[in-house]
Amino acid sequence: MKVCILSGGTGAPKLIQGLKEILPEEDISVIVNTGEDTMVGDLYLSPDVDTVLYTLSNQINEDTWYGVKGDTFITHNTIKEFENKENNTFGENLRIGDKDRALKMHKTHYINKGYPLSKIIKMEKELFGIKANIFPMTDDIVRTKILINENNNKYLIDFHDFWINRRGNATVVDIFYENSNYAGAPSKTIECIKNSDIIIIGPSNPITSIAPILSIKDIKDTIIESNKPVVAVSPIIGDGAVSGPAGILMKAKGYPVSAGGVYNFYNDLGININTMILDNIDKSRIEKTKLELNNSNIIYTNTIMKTIEDKINLAKSVLGSI
């Protein structure tokens, strides 16, 4: 079975680990959010892409779902020392490990040379011996921006400013995907949707991981027109997100923080979800959820992926749903 999974940086990669155990790796295609791509100092960062690369090459640091496990931070710590002494910054506001830095430098070098991101990712997946396909949502520059309210003024800030610098402490008014109206998807990204037997929306943040991907018209239209079964795993359990800022962003978009809210958010974007995979915990509000999901197909299972068995079981539930 050929699967195409839309992925952000934490929930979906865990599910990918499960899929990798039960499917031939070549049959897995991942379309990755690049809306959080940014410059950190002089380095080009594609955080979700790198997490998927490290996940599929068994290098991911599973404590943070960012960077390489067991990495050291000698360069970063020295930079921080300099910045503290100078009471100034030359931009490394994110911890970059010494091994991880090589991948960031590789990407930066070829981005500066004008290579499309999709080509660089292909080089990097081959570097790591990854057989699965990894495609960026776009080779264009689409960036997730957060509109916040501060002292009765509205400010449009980068996602990194919101999530890293401010640690999510802001009154969010709205979220935009800058430039998405002009952006296209690489042809391979579109092909992978058309050639798949199932489209999986991973349990990543609907607003900042999945919606940026769907903000690319070519991708959304292809998913709708191809009429493939779409299965979504809810990243929200009960009334809270498993990780990250999904809750406060769902609220800002006017949706309840619940699996039903997630379903309706995708539905309002025009995506027909065939099956929603919810956590067993949500059984306690089964009647309410059914109502929210218009009696769509719901599967209850354990969606909190702590062990590899959890991941495999969830992957089996997803594939078994169609």
98 part of the interface to a copy of itself, by CB under 8 A: yes
- Among all chains, which residue has been given the structure tokens 């495609």? 135
| Crossing angle of the two packed helices 11-22 and 47-56, in degrees rounded to 10 | 30
Which residue of 38, 108, 189, 204 would you call a contact of a copy of itself, by CB under 8 A?
108
- SS3 state at 186: coil
Give min distance, CB of 99 to a copy of itself, in A.
5
188 part of the interface to a copy of itself, by CB under 8 A: no
Give min distance, CB of 193 to a copy of itself, in A.
29
Give min distance, CB of 131 to a copy of itself, in A.
15
d(CA 312, CA 322): 17
Nearer to a copy of itself, 54 or 163 (CB): 54
d(CA 91, CA 245): 24
Of residues 44-73, which lie at the interface with a copy of itself (CB under 8 A)?
71-72
Which residue of 32, 103, 200, 276 would you call a contact of a copy of itself, by CB under 8 A?
103
Q: 97 near 67, Cβ under 8 Å?
A: yes
Nearer to a copy of itself, 124 or 279 (CB): 124
Give min distance, CB of 202 to a copy of itself, in A.
28
Vertex 90: Cα angle to 98 and 64 (nearest 5):
40
Nearer to a copy of itself, 105 or 224 (CB): 105
Instruction: Give phi and psi for 179, each to the nearest 5.
Output: 80, 0
- SS3 state at 308: helix
Number of alpha carbons in the 13 Å side-chain half-sphere of residue 313: 13
42 part of the interface to a copy of itself, by CB under 8 A: yes
Which residue of 1, 74, 141, 286 would you call a contact of a copy of itself, by CB under 8 A?
74
Give min distance, CB of 303 to a copy of itself, in A.
35
Closest by CA to 228, choosing from 256, 180, 190, is 190
Which residue of 1, 22, 39, 123 would you call a contact of a copy of itself, by CB under 8 A?
123
287 part of the interface to a copy of itself, by CB under 8 A: no
Distances 109 to 42, 48, 90, 112, 186 between C-alpha atoms, Å = 10, 19, 19, 5, 21
Give min distance, CB of 52 to a copy of itself, in A.
18
Q: Strands 153-158, 133-136: parallel, antiparallel or unpaired by DSSP?
A: unpaired
Contact segment (CB under 8 A) with a copy of itself among 107-115, 139-147, 222-230, 294-302 equals: 107-115
Question: How many of the other CB atoms lie within 10 Å of CB of 66?
Answer: 20
Vertex 266: Cα angle to 294 and 285 (nearest 5):
45
102 part of the interface to a copy of itself, by CB under 8 A: yes
Question: How many of the other CB atoms lie within 10 Å of CB of 257?
Answer: 18
Contact segment (CB under 8 A) with a copy of itself among 75-83, 131-139, 233-241, 253-261 equals: 75-83
Give min distance, CB of 227 to a copy of itself, in A.
40
Q: 150: which strand partners?
A: 153
Which residue of 23, 79, 269, 322 would you call a contact of a copy of itself, by CB under 8 A?
79
Q: 29 near 54, Cβ under 8 Å?
A: no
Interacting residues with a copy of itself (CB under 8 A): 41-42, 71-72, 74-76, 78-79, 81-82, 85-86, 90-91, 98-99, 101-103, 105-106, 108-110, 112, 123, 126-127
